[in-house]
Amino acid sequence: MKKSILIVAFLLPAIFIKAQDVNELLKQVRAKIEKVNDYVASGKMKTNVIFMKVPVASIKVFFKKPNRLKIKNESGISLIPKGSISISLNNVLAEDGYSALDAGTAKIGNTDTRVIKLLPNDDNNEVVLSTLYVDPVKLLVLKSKTTTKDNGTYELEMKYGIYADYALPDKVIFSFNTKEYKLPKGVTFDYDDGTEKKQPGGKPQKGKVELTYSSYIINKGVDESVFSK
């Protein structure tokens, strides 16, 4: 018993030190992110949801600090997953109301990352838990997982290129839970062409949205009206 207390006594400062470490890392990451006040990004959006067949869309993403984000399809129709607001990491990192916990390290691709868990201090926060995978060298978030109260878990994967200095990814893969999709036949009056249905019934499905950016216009100002609609 004494022994175990001793171990805990030894370990506690270690955890504390590590936590300090993590907070420092987050601060640096945040600082990098905060260099961007606003941006307009052009790119392609690819939707991959089991029951959906959707063409690749040309989209524009508008962002303005602190955490306003809008994805617009200039010509066609795009179904934007709810919660895609967290495509902007600012949403996760901007506020201070989190406690950061070090959850060790992990490999994302070939990169060693620090795994940081963020717990909101406010019990009523929509976000229950966020997990960040941070490249400590480049100070970039490569992956994040956000668990919400109502909308399940979102996952973000980011790949950086020429805009890495601004912590802006070239590619974002946004994964989310989709509810089972079913409309009554009496509403749709389907033609039953005998095609085999891919959808395995019952369990919730993962959907994916892949954003590939071709260019960013950074800190050139974004009109407020973009976000109003």
Partner 1 sequence: MWKLLQIELFKIYKRPRTYIAFGAVMAIVAVVQVALRYDGKSYIDFMMSGLSDTFEFQNDKVLNGYLVCFIILNTLLIHVPLLVTLIAADEVAGEANMGTLRLLMTKPVSRTQLILVKFAASVIYVILLLMWMAVLALLISILIFGTNDMVVLRNDSFHQMQANDVVWRYVMAFGYATVAMSTVAALSLLLSVFADNAVGPIVATISIVIVLTILSEMNIPLYDKTVKPYLFTSHMVAWKGFFYVKSTEEGETIKGSIENLPAIGRSFLILVIYICLFVGSAVVCFKKKDILS
Specify the 3-state DSSP secondary structure of 40: strand
80 binds partner 1, rule: CB under 8 A: yes
Q: Which two tokens stand for residue 186?
A: 């009496």
188 binds partner 1, rule: CB under 8 A: yes
Q: Which of 96, 123, 192, 224 binds partner 1 (CB under 8 A)?
A: 192
13 binds partner 1, rule: CB under 8 A: no
Give the integer Cα–Cα distance in Å for 23 and 21.
5
Contact 60, 42 (CB under 8 A): yes
Burial group, residue 23, by CB count within 10 angstroms (0-12, 13-18, 19+): middle
52 binds partner 1, rule: CB under 8 A: yes
The stretch among 50-58, 104-112, 135-143, 156-164 that binds partner 1 (CB under 8 A) is 50-58
Q: Which of 2, 53, 107, 203 binds partner 1 (CB under 8 A)?
A: 53
176 binds partner 1, rule: CB under 8 A: yes
Give the integer Cα–Cα distance in Å for 1 and 88.
47
149 binds partner 1, rule: CB under 8 A: no
Compare residues 10 and 189 and give the one whose CB is closer to partner 1: 189
Q: Which of 207, 211, 216, 222 binds partner 1 (CB under 8 A)?
A: 207
Nearest C-alpha neighbor of 41 from the set 175, 145, 167, 135: 167
Q: Which of 67, 78, 111, 125 binds partner 1 (CB under 8 A)?
A: 78
Q: Which two tokens stand for residue 67?
A: 């955490």
Q: Which of 96, 123, 193, 224 binds partner 1 (CB under 8 A)?
A: 193
Q: Which of 19, 34, 68, 79 binds partner 1 (CB under 8 A)?
A: 79
Compare residues 102 and 155 and give the one whose CB is closer to partner 1: 155
Please work out the total of residues on this chain that contact partner 1, with binding judged by CB under 8 A: 42
Within 13 Å of residue 209, how many CA atoms lie on the same side as its CB? 24
Give the integer Cα–Cα distance in Å for 174 and 25.
24
Burial group, residue 136, by CB count within 10 angstroms (0-12, 13-18, 19+): middle
Dihedrals φ, ψ of 94, to 5°?
A: -60, -40
169 binds partner 1, rule: CB under 8 A: no
Q: Would you mind telling me the total number of residues written for the chain in this entry?
A: 229
The stretch among 5-13, 129-137, 179-187, 216-224 that binds partner 1 (CB under 8 A) is 179-187
Q: How far is the CB of 63 from partner 1 (least distance, A)?
A: 16
Q: What is the CA radius of gyration of the chain?
A: 21
Interface residues with partner 1 (CB under 8 A)?
A: 46-56, 73, 75-82, 176-179, 181-195, 197, 199, 207
